Amino acid sequence: MPEKKNQHYVPRLLLRPFGLPARSPDETVAAVRTLLISSGKIIPAASIADQCSKNYFYGSNLTTERHLEDVEAVFSAVLPRLATEPNNFTVGSDERAAINTFMALQISRTQTAANDADDSLDRRRKYDLDPMLIAKGVATKEELDSVKMRFTEPGLFMVGIGLHSVPMLIDLHLRILTTSGRARFIISDNPAVEVNQAYAHLRGLSAVGVAMRGLQIFCPLSPTQTLLLYDGEIYRMGDTIESLRVAVTDDDVEVLNGLQVANAMNALYIPPEITDAHAHQLLLKYRRYHLKERSHVVEVRTPPGVSRSGTAILSTRHDLRVPLTWKFCRVKRRFRGDALSSPAPRDPELCRIAKTLRLDGTGLGKLLAIAMQRAAKTVADKKSAMERINGTIG
């Protein structure tokens, strides 16, 4: 096989902790128990090397694949230090930059994200392009309905989207959720799950996105640990920055596993501690929330008083509707009820920084450095300004 032909959209470093123990010291092929979403079939020992991968998913020139491997290597080196060096994981640190970069890319680099991009493009086409082609007699509606518009390399396109998202994670708080009982986490082929507990009551436009107020991002790291990035202005975790680890109950673990079921594309990966019967119970309970269609297009009328009347076409997505009944994370009292009536960006300045980045041939490493440097400076400047204001008031 050509070098790096088999390109993973979920890194093996995330899958290995859920794998089966080696049967002998000489065993070199790592395997993991796999549960297929559609059929409920369990594959007792599927090769990890063949999971969550596709030939040349990020392109045949291998440049992006090599850069992603670099990002994974830095993230892998940071993880063991979470327990012993909590103060190194504050906003603007190199360690947080590594985590933010990995997570922003993990959200966007999967087959599910690529499929969503293709689907959204085709749905927009039916609103924007098809009416013009039909009016000019270029094609009939029946002919256009029989074709699909797709990106040439959707995986590569979505890596670019992930890169532009890196600055918008800089202000999120970090916690490691750890199991406190017998329950264990599972992982899926789309493991970075975005939800918004504060806006879960809303319907219509999505309240989930890397820039959105109230964002929560979960990604399992092992059967006993899940990484959480969250909006610290909205949520109360009941601990301090010195305590990065938060113990969660068995009931909490089940809800978090339910998110993996609902967010998966095709497969769940089950650690040895979970029985086949329990895995099937999770699937049966949460498969109802599994999204068959993740993106949609809506027409929004121009608000009254705007000089140009008409409608805007917006591409959005369906949010997961798993009931978020956990105990470890609560919406702060002052943000309950009407205080969160409509979704909004957490920090418009971070959005502006993200928009200024251009994938214009600049090296991936340099681009990431620019993103984190600008974002960290913005947060530092704002913090300094607030400290001066508070000092004056005091």
Indicate the domain borders of the chain: 65-321+333-393
Backbone angles phi, psi at 296, to 5 degrees: -155, 165
pLDDT tier at 214, thresholds 50, 70, 90: very high
Given a cut of 60, whether residue 367 has pLDDT beyond it is no
- Count the Cβ atoms, other than its own, within 10 Å of residue 132: 9
Cα separation values, 269 from 208, 209, 348, Å: 25, 25, 37
Question: So what's the pLDDT on residue 390?
Answer: 40
Cα separation values, 213 from 105, 197, 235, 269, Å: 20, 10, 10, 31
Q: Name the 3-class secondary structure at 382.
A: helix
pLDDT tier at 393, thresholds 50, 70, 90: very low
Rounded distance between C-alpha atoms, residue 312 and residue 299, angstroms: 6
In this prediction, residues 116-138 reach a mean pLDDT of 85
Average pLDDT along the chain: 82
Please tell me which of 118-127, 225-234, 237-246 the model is most confident about, judged by mean pLDDT: 225-234
Question: So what's the pLDDT on residue 368?
Answer: 55
Given a cut of 80, whether residue 270 has pLDDT beyond it is yes
Angle of helix 94-108 versus helix 154-165 axis, rounded to 10: 150
Question: So what's the pLDDT on residue 185?
Answer: 98
Q: Quick one: residue 80, left, alpha or beta (phi over 0 = left, psi -120 to 50 = alpha)?
A: alpha
Lowest mean pLDDT among 19-28, 40-49, 62-71, 166-175: 19-28
Rounded distance between C-alpha atoms, residue 341 and residue 260, angstroms: 28
Greater model confidence, 363 or 368? 368
Question: So what's the pLDDT on residue 86?
Answer: 65
Amino acid residing at 129 = L
Greater model confidence, 242 or 349? 349
Given a cut of 60, whether residue 392 has pLDDT beyond it is no
Greater model confidence, 151 or 268? 268
In this prediction, residues 215-242 reach a mean pLDDT of 87
In this prediction, residues 338-342 reach a mean pLDDT of 65
- Which two tokens mark 99? 């985590």
Question: So what's the pLDDT on residue 308?
Answer: 59
